[in-house]
Amino acid sequence: MRSHPSAILCIVVLACALAASPARAAPKDDVKGAFTHFVNAQNAHDLKAIGNLLADSPDFLWISSGHVVRERGAALQRFEQMFKGKWRVDPDWSTFQILGLDFTTMEIFVRVSTSDGGSVRKARMSLVLVNTPKGWQVQNIFVSDAQAT
């Protein structure tokens, strides 16, 4: 069997192009970075940064402690109210997990401690992030009280 130099060259060029393409970037690293930025923005009470990280979608949903927030604007109002106090969220990074639902949707699971300046509340947090032209943004937030383990 004769080898075809042009076919081999095409395969090598294609392999190099795929290796260098942005599709090879680790989306889980980008998602962890977006989550870290989300946490830091909350702890800095930076409403503008929070706004840049929340998806502006009719499917936005935030459920936490009896509160149901169904759109980005309402979420920003809720954060604004929380930021009037000494709001803080601290993830337990040892529990941090990312589940890739597909290349454009990732779900984060993590235990957190939250405080509004008073008592500390332990909770489990699940966030769904979607890849948008603006980068990874939070589409859904679900927070439930942590049960003793």
Domain-by-domain residue ranges, the chain?
A: 26-145
Give the pTM.
Answer: 0.80
User: What confidence score (pLDDT) does residue 51 get?
Assistant: 96
The answer to whether 50 and 60 are in contact (CB under 8 A) is no
Decide if pLDDT at 14 tops 60: no
Query: Residue 143: which residues within 8 A CB-CB, separation 6 or more?
Result: 63, 64, 65, 112, 123, 124, 125, 126
Decide if pLDDT at 40 tops 70: yes
CA gap 130, 2 in Å, rounded: 48
Backbone dihedral angles phi then psi of residue 50, each to the nearest 5 degrees: -60, -45
Backbone dihedral angles phi then psi of residue 75, each to the nearest 5 degrees: -65, -40
- CATH fold of 26-145, please? Nuclear Transport Factor 2; Chain: A, (3.10.450)
Encode pLDDT of 45-101 as tens digits: 999 999 999 999 999 999 998 899 999 999 999 999 999 999 999 999 999 999 999
Sign of CA dihedral 140, 125, 32, 24: negative
Q: What is the mean pLDDT of the chain?
A: 86
CA gap 38, 123 in Å, rounded: 17
User: What confidence score (pLDDT) does residue 18 get?
Assistant: 46
The answer to whether 141 and 63 are in contact (CB under 8 A) is yes
